[in-house]
Chain A
Amino acid sequence: KQEVTQIPAALSVPEGENLVLNCSFTDSAIYNLQWFRQDPGKGLTSLLLIQSSQREQTSGRLNASLDKSSGRSTLYIAASQPGDSATYLCAVRRNRDDKIIFGKGTRLHILP
């Protein structure tokens, strides 16, 4: 059974700092891994998607890495801003049945 874990559950950092969010998964037979952002009371917005054959993806100040063999992914946010405050979720798509399994998310608060 695929389990996705995100650590930490919550994080507060001062504005301007670089930070890393972690995601781990138990079954390496994945098709891709996706990072999402969710603002309070809103839906999910896709940030980055990494195919299983890729090692990383970048978009602006965001960089996501994937180590499929160890079952880990990280989301790196550079020069954090108060507008980055949100919950960040990672999700893996299983190879065998295309189910997408989510972690419980990391609630990020950037202090002005």
Chain B
Amino acid sequence: NAGVTQTPKFRVLKTGQSMTLLCAQDMNHEYMYWYRQDPGMGLRLIHYSVGEGTTAKGEVPDGYNVSRLKKQNFLLGLESAAPSQTSVYFCASNRDRRILLTSTDTQYFGPGTRLTVL
């Protein structure tokens, strides 16, 4: 059981370049989330998904797109990277509370991707 994994761990981009961050989970979780973490700002939700084929906007969605074509994967895309998108990106997942009401529906996090945009 690998839990939540993120690819890549580090990346440096030039302004205007594009890239895709991959998040994968092997816990059969319905919900998946993308956050960014910046100094003094805490974690802010970018986009999330409540199931395969669905996505929804979070607090800071501008400049990002996401896709959830398979239940186990959640992709975060940057079409034209900007220096303001320099951050650490975290992916997370948890079960659908409507399916299983339990105190163990905790949110599990990946190790993070450190992205620098020059």
Contact = CB atoms under 8 A, between A and B. Distances in A.
Given A43-B90, A46-B107, A98 B43 contact: no
B109 interface: yes
Nearest to B96: A98
Given A34-B106, A34-B107, A102 B42 contact: yes
A27 to B, nearest CB: 14
Interface in A79-104: 89, 91, 97-104
B106 A49 contact: yes
B56 interface: yes
Contacts of B59: 101
Contact of A43 (B97, B104, B111): B111
A100 B107 contact: yes
Given A34-B106, A42-B112, A97-B56, 19 more contacts: A31-B97, A34-B107, A36-B109, A42-B111, A43-B109, A43-B111, A44-B43, A45-B109, A49-B103, A49-B104, A49-B106, A57-B103, A91-B107, A98-B31, A100-B33, A100-B92, A102-B44, A104-B40, A105-B42
